[in-house]
Amino acid sequence: MEKVWKKPDQGVVKINFDASPNGRKMSFGLVARDHDGFVLGGRAGNGLSWNLKPIVPACYLFAWAPRSCNKATDSLCKWAKALNCIKDFDRDYPIEIHDVILIDAMN
């Protein structure tokens, strides 16, 4: 059985991050979601120089997750690489991750 993205506890914001090297560049995707699985914000980009602005200035717990639990950020990474862009977003996230976000929210 494939592992899937899990919602955080009530009052917790879960931030998923993925990065992929592309020659001398780095593609990345970041998505922050609440306990209902709703997107609060994020960023996707491709390039050497990028800066992840803080989304939640609180305590952080980092844990590795398999790609099956991190499909939204993996998709963002690929999207940013293909378009060679940097995009900040809030609740109005890129349509390219919409289906993944909906499936995750239903889990």
**Predicted pLDDT of residue 72:** 94
Looking at residue 53, its pLDDT comes to 53
Neighbours of 73 (CB within 10 A): 25
Read off the pTM: 0.82
- Per domain, the residue ranges of the chain are 14-106
Residue 50 is predicted with a pLDDT of 45
Query: Cβ(18)–Cβ(69) under 8 Å?
Result: no
What pLDDT does residue 61 have?
67
Q: Which residues of the chain have pLDDT under 50?
A: 50, 55-56
